[in-house]
């Protein structure tokens, strides 16, 4: 859209030069800046160097017409909002062009010059509303990402405090208990209490590290996601309920810790769902990248969604969908009864 102090520029394309002049004058009288063209070729040449707020397009030009003309003129560039002008008997063609994205159409009759400014004003308002909606959606997504990023930073901070603060203090206390055992020689009861205290402290240290690891599942290095997914598979195998396999044909670097963290959480949610509900024997986590597309896949050989909770709404699908959306990815779930569930998250990555 043009700046507030500049009138929107409109391109009018019509092979009838007399009518073209009259339409341009009617629009200029309504406060618009107008450019004109009499052929599709001339219009394309002008569009190669300018971006109008709206295009008024005659559906019958010497070098083209109808839906094919619209498709050709919109090819290879950002689509320009347009209104079509058509003669009597061409209403069917006008409807076809509306399906291609035309905002409106106006008939070539005695009321054309009177109606055209109103049609243009209405179309420009529609364009402005659409642009405002797109901007609002982009801002909503930016704010959503920022809020989640703040949450991730807080979790990282708490995790670091647990690991480097409380964890280190507990470790120091456990070492002190070990040292005191030497002073307790000849006092069995005291030595026993020190041993018990040392065991409790070791358990507390392990629990602290476990909590810190849960808050910060992956690090900030590019290979942190691969390392985290491999460790996730080991953790699942330690439960001895199913066999979990991590596969990655070649190294996959994810430079953005924000993206890596959400991909890990998607894998964690899907894998845990498979362990709890799938009743299968194997869960496979695959991470790959090809042709600029990163794909994370979590598949099981269980009973499929049909044997789980109704339509699968209780399986955290909404959470995974939300995480995929925040990082600009697409999440799909494929399932056949008796053949397991496959969760895939795909997103474009820079080489």
Mean pLDDT for 117-121 is 92
**pLDDT of 12 higher than 90:** yes
Q: Please tell me the total count of domains within the chain.
A: 3
Give Cα separations from 92 to 59, 61, 66, 103, 265 (angstroms).
12, 17, 10, 15, 52
- Both 87 and 171 in a single domain? no
Is 309 or 176 the better-scoring residue by pLDDT? 176
Give me the half-sphere count of Cα atoms (radius 13 Å) on the Cβ side of residue 62.
Answer: 9
Residue 24 lies in a domain: yes
Categorize the per-residue pLDDT at 216 as very low, low, confident or very high, splitting at 50, 70 and 90: low
Domain boundary, last residue among 215, 241, 264: 215
Residue 131 lies in a domain: no
- Both 229 and 205 in a single domain? no
- Both 195 and 284 in a single domain? no
- Both 15 and 85 in a single domain? yes
**pLDDT of 315 higher than 50:** yes
Domain boundary, last residue among 194, 215, 236: 215
- Both 284 and 331 in a single domain? yes
Q: What is the pLDDT of residues 17-57, one digit of tens each?
A: 999 999 999 999 999 999 999 998 898 888 888 889 999 98
- Both 264 and 203 in a single domain? no
Q: Domain range spanning residue 84?
A: 9-109
- Both 195 and 289 in a single domain? no
Q: What is the pLDDT of residue 100?
A: 80
Domain boundary, last residue among 215, 250, 269: 215
Categorize the per-residue pLDDT at 312 as very low, low, confident or very high, splitting at 50, 70 and 90: very low
Q: The domain spanning residue 21 has which CATH number?
A: 3.40.50.2300
Q: What is the pLDDT of residue 332?
A: 94
Q: The domain spanning residue 306 has which CATH number?
A: 3.30.565.10
Categorize the per-residue pLDDT at 348 as very low, low, confident or very high, splitting at 50, 70 and 90: very high
**pLDDT of 276 higher than 90:** no
Residue closest to 108 by CA, chosen among 41, 60, 38, 44: 60
Mean pLDDT for 195-207 is 84
Mean pLDDT for 192-215 is 79
Residue closest to 220 by CA, chosen among 261, 160, 250, 248: 261
Phi, psi (rounded to 5 degrees) for 152: -65, -40
Give Cα separations from 309 to 43, 273, 297, 321 (angstroms).
58, 11, 21, 18
Select, from the ranges 63-77, 159-173, 266-280, the one with the highest average predicted confidence (pLDDT): 266-280
- Both 230 and 323 in a single domain? yes
Cα 227 to Cα 198: distance, rounded to the nearest angstrom:
31
Mean pLDDT for 177-205 is 83
- Both 247 and 201 in a single domain? no
Mean pLDDT for 216-220 is 71
Q: What is the pLDDT of residues 51-92, one digit of tens each?
A: 899 999 888 888 877 677 777 776 766 788 999 888 766 677
- Both 193 and 244 in a single domain? no
**pLDDT of 166 higher than 90:** no
Residue 277 lies in a domain: yes
Residue 95 lies in a domain: yes
Categorize the per-residue pLDDT at 345 as very low, low, confident or very high, splitting at 50, 70 and 90: very high
């Amino acid at each position: 859209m043009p700046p507030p102090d500049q009138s929107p520029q409109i391109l009018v394309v019509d092979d009838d030069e007399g009518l073209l002049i009259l339409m341009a004058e009617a629009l200029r009288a309504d406060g618009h800046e107008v450019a004109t063209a009499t052929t599709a070729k001339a219009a394309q040449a002008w569009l190669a160097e300018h971006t109008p707020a709206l295009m008024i397009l005659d559906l019958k030009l010497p070098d083209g017409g109808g839906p094919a003309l619209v498709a050709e003129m919109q090819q290879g560039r950002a689509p320009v909002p347009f209104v079509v002008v058509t003669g009597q008997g061409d209403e069917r063609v006008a409807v076809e062009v509306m399906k291609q994205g035309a905002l409106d159409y106006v008939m070539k009759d005695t009321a054309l010059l009177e109606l055209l400014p109103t049609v243009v004003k209405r179309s420009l308002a529609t364009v402005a509303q659409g642009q405002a909606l797109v901007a609002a959606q982009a801002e909503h997504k930016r704010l959503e990402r920022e809020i989640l990023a703040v949450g991730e930073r807080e979790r990282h901070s708490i995790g670091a405090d647990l690991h480097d603060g409380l964890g280190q203090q507990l470790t120091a206390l456990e070492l002190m208990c070990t040292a005191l055992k030497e002073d307790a020689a000849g006092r069995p009861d005291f030595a026993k209490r020190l041993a018990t205290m040392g065991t409790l402290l070791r358990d507390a240290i392990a629990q602290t590290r476990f909590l810190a690891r849960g808050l910060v599942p992956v690090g900030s290095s590019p290979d942190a996601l691969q390392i985290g997914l491999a460790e996730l598979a080991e953790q699942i195998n330690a439960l001895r309920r199913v066999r979990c396999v991590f596969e990655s044909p070649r190294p996959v670097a994810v430079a953005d810790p924000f993206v890596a963290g959400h991909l890990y959480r998607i894998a964690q949610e899907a894998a845990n769902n498979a362990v709890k509900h799938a009743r299968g024997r194997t869960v496979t986590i695959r991470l790959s990248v090809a042709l600029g597309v990163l794909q994370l896949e979590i598949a099981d050989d269980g009973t499929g969604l049909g044997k789980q909770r109704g339509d699968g709404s209780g399986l955290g699908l909404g959470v995974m969908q939300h995480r995929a959306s925040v990082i600009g990815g697409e999440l799909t779930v494929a399932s056949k009864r008796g053949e397991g569930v496959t969760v895939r998250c795909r997103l474009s990555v820079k080489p």
